[in-house]
Structure formats: C-alpha cells, structure tokens
Amino acid sequence: MKVSDGMNYAPKGKPQPVVKPGEFVFSAVRLDHGHIYGMTNALLEAGGTLKYVYDPDEAKVAQFVKTYPQVQVARSEEEALGDRDTHMIAGAAVTSERCPLGLRAMAAGKDYFTDKAPFTTLAQLDSAKSMVAETGKKYMVYYSERLHVEGAILAGYMIEQGEIGKVIHVEGFGPHRLGKAGRPAWFFEREKYGGILCDIGSHQIEQYLHFAGEEDARVTHSRIGNYANPDYPELDDFGDCSIVGAKGTTNYFRVDWFTPDGLSTWGDGRTIILGTEGYIEIRKYVDIASGTPGGNHIYLVNGKGEKHIDATGTTGYPFFGQLILDCLNRTENAMTQAHAFKAAELCLQAQAQAMVVTK
C-alpha cells in the first residue's frame, strides 16, 4: 500500500455481502473528501446497492462515475434525497457542511453516513441529536482509522478475549502527510475543517472509547499549534489531547501533519493499548524500516511473551455489513448512536479548550 496522502486512502476488502442486490440502497452525496471512495467501496462489498451520486462539482462526479459505472447521476441533491428506494445517504462534504446535509437527509427519511469529523460545532451536534430523537434515523460516522483497518479490528477482538487484562490506558498517534499542493482551500480554513483535534483527532477519540469500553469521558487537557506552516495560519499542524473516561481509564493522542517525505505511506499511525496484563501496539499502515511490507501489524506483549501478528486478511471490515443490517433492522450492532456522538462531542471539546502552544 503506497498512497500519497490519507485523503485518497480507500481500502478494498473481500466482498462479504449481508444482503442481496437491491435490498439496501444508498446514494453518495457530496464528494469533497476522498474518503467517500472508502465508504462506497465498503458499502458495496457489504452488499449495498449504489443508486445515485450528487455533487455540484461535475469533475468530482465524473471521477466517481468512472470508478462506479453503475451509479446514476442525480440532477440535484433533492433527487437523491427524495428517492424512495434509497435507505442511506453517504456523504463526504466539507466538514462544516456535513451536519446540514445530514439533517436534510434525515428529514427526508434516510439514514445518514458521513465522513469524519461529523461536526465542526457543538450546536451542530445538538441539532443532530434532536433530529435523531425526532426521526429515529441514524447519523453514523466513518471513523476509518479503526473501522477500515484490520489491525485495529483484530486488536479490538484480542482485547475482548482478555489478552491484555483490563484496559487502563490508550495512546494514539495519527501523523498525516500534508501534501499541501493537493489539498482544497477549505482544508486550511478553520471554520470549515474545524481544527486538527476536531478533524483527525476524531478518529483517535473514537478508538479510545472503543478500546477502553468507555461510554462517557472528559477532555482533561489539549494543545494545538502551527509550527511550520505560517502560509496557512488557520491550519493546526500539531495537536494533542488527554482524556479521562468515566470508568477511570485514560487516553492520550497526538495528531500532526508532519509525515516526512521519505515515509513509504501517508502516515505512521499507531495505537498502544495498555492493560493490566499486557499491551498491544498496532502499527497500522507501516512497520517502519522493518522489511515487512504493508500495514496491520499487531504487536502483543503479555504474560505469554512477545508476539507479532499480521492482521491483513484476518477480519475484513465487519462494521459496514453490520451497519447495513442495523439500518434495515433498526438495531445498533455496528456502533451505537451514543458512541458516534460521544466521540464527536469530545473532539469538539478538545478543540475548543485547546491551549495554543505556538505564537
């Protein structure tokens, strides 16, 4: 896996359909972030049927159609949202526009599946909560750095099986390649992307809540900075955050845009999960200078010894099939709405209360 930046990270897995063609129909609305391809791949592999695509930018639509020739181009957002067959609207809008789109989709009776981060303000989160309460529809989030990474999924299973005892602390490292030239203007505008802790920090918080089994938590410290990008003063190129969960577990994560040019992929993402009886380190996308290609490396150390496990090909991406069934059956097996919203809330709080460490 050699990709130029995280924006084009769209893993393909083994098809594991949970429904027959036509039983679960989704449409793609707003293609501002390349994650829409990862979302679409995963829903298709899980058996979803792609109906419409809509984006005001014709070039983006053309690229999408080239990738998924079966898709119909909607003439307007309304056409996609108003379609009777469609169960779910999948969207990767500009971050600040994700919630308004979601509210429209839910008002139209659809479940909504958005790229992360799902919100840029707490007011948006509140309005989404109200809409969920009102309509019973789902506002689900593509937290790809866990849901679309087999190393992270297998690590979750290992924790459930007790391999490291009781989880007490989770550390996440989410460096990303900046690739300034290839980024759209909104990526650098704070109001639109929401800040680094809101944006790529949201992955980290979701992972913490999942691995630690926490349903509630509070941000105890957070910091942001712009160390090396004075040409984009609204960009945070660094952020970190400390969280304490309601059960007493702790989290620290660091996110940054400093992936060096010489790294063989877009970011050396890692997660360390410390338990009372052992720990797991996930080297998600690369095991630097190891001679072992690819990602999904799990390192497990516990009472039995030290172990390296290549998780590639072991788990697939069960979230997406579960999500389809959750939509059809009105269950919450893939992810609870409360979990998706709690991660979002914490990343907004982390961003809002962050200490600025650079001038």
What secondary structure does DSSP assign to 108-177, as a single string?
Answer: TT-EEEEESP--SSHHHHHHHHHHHHHH---EEEE-HHHHT-HHHHHHHHHHHTTTTSSEEEEEEEEE--
- Give the range of 68-76, 112-120, 194-202, 260-268 binding its own copies by CB under 8 A: 260-268
Q: Rounded to the nearest whole angstrom, what is the least distance from the CB of residue 181 to its own copies in the complex?
A: 16
- Name which of 302, 282, 275 is nearest 152 in CA terms: 282
Compute the least distance from the CB of residue 258 to its own copies, in Å.
6
Among 72, 121, 127, 242, binds its own copies (CB under 8 A): 242
Residue with tokens 């009472």: 303
- Applying CB under 8 A, does 5 fall inside the site for its own copies? no
Q: Which of 83, 236, 268, 326 binds its own copies (CB under 8 A)?
A: 268
Nearer to its own copies by Cβ, of 104 and 223: the residue is: 223
* Of residues 301 and 328, the one with the C-beta less far from its own copies: 301
Q: In this chain, which stretch among 100-108, 114-122, 259-267, 324-332 interacts with its own copies, using CB under 8 A?
A: 259-267
If you ran DSSP here, which 8-state letter would residue 21 be given?
T
Q: Which residues pair with 297 in a beta bridge?
A: 283, 310
Number of residues that bind its own copies (CB under 8 A): 55
Considering only 1, 3, 65, 263, the residue that binds its own copies (CB under 8 A) is: 263
The answer to whether 306 contacts its own copies (rule: CB under 8 A) is yes
Of 56, 85, 162, 308, the residue at the interface with its own copies (CB under 8 A) is 308
Contact predicate 266/4, CB 8 Å: yes
CB closer to its own copies, 132 vs 205: 205
Complex with its own copies: residue 65 or 263, whichever CB lies closer: 263
State in angstroms the smallest separation of the CB of 215 from its own copies: 17
Cα separation, 70 vs 72, in Å, equals 7
By residue count, the chain amounts to 359
- Which is closer to its own copies, CB of 64 or CB of 257? 257
List strand residue ranges (DSSP E) for the chain, in order.
Answer: 25-31, 49-54, 72-73, 88-92, 111-115, 139-142, 167-175, 217-225, 238-245, 250-256, 270-275, 278-283, 297-302, 305-310, 355-356
Q: Does 258 bind its own copies (CB under 8 A)?
A: yes
* Cβ closest to its own copies, residue 83 vs residue 281: 281
User: Given the rule CB under 8 A, which of 30-38, 144-152, 299-307, 318-326 is the region that contacts its own copies?
Assistant: 299-307
Question: Whose structure tokens read 């909607």?
Answer: 74
Token pair recorded at residue 323: 């999500």
Amino acid sitting at position 283: R
Q: What would the DSSP string read from start to end of 243-271?
A: EEETTS-EEEEEEES---TTSSSS---EE
- Least spacing, CB of residue 173 vs its own copies, in Å: 8
Whole-number Cα distances in Å, 291 to 5, 264, 287, 321 = 21, 12, 8, 34
Q: How far is residue 65 from each of residues 142, 256, 278, measured CA to CA in Å?
A: 21, 33, 47
Q: Looking at 228, 328, 338, 352, which residue binds its own copies (CB under 8 A)?
A: 228
Instruction: Please identify, using beta-carbon distances, which residue of 240 and 326 lies nearer to its own copies.
Output: 240
Q: How far is CA 184 from the centre of its chain?
A: 19
**Residue among 78, 227, 313, 331 that touches its own copies (CB under 8 A):** 227
158-217: contacts with its own copies (CB under 8 A): 164, 166, 168-169, 171, 173, 175
By CB under 8 A, name the binding residues for its own copies.
Answer: 164, 166, 168-169, 171, 173, 175, 220-221, 223, 225, 227-228, 238, 240, 242, 244, 248, 250, 252, 254, 256, 258, 260-264, 268, 272, 274-279, 281, 286, 288-290, 299-308, 355, 357-359
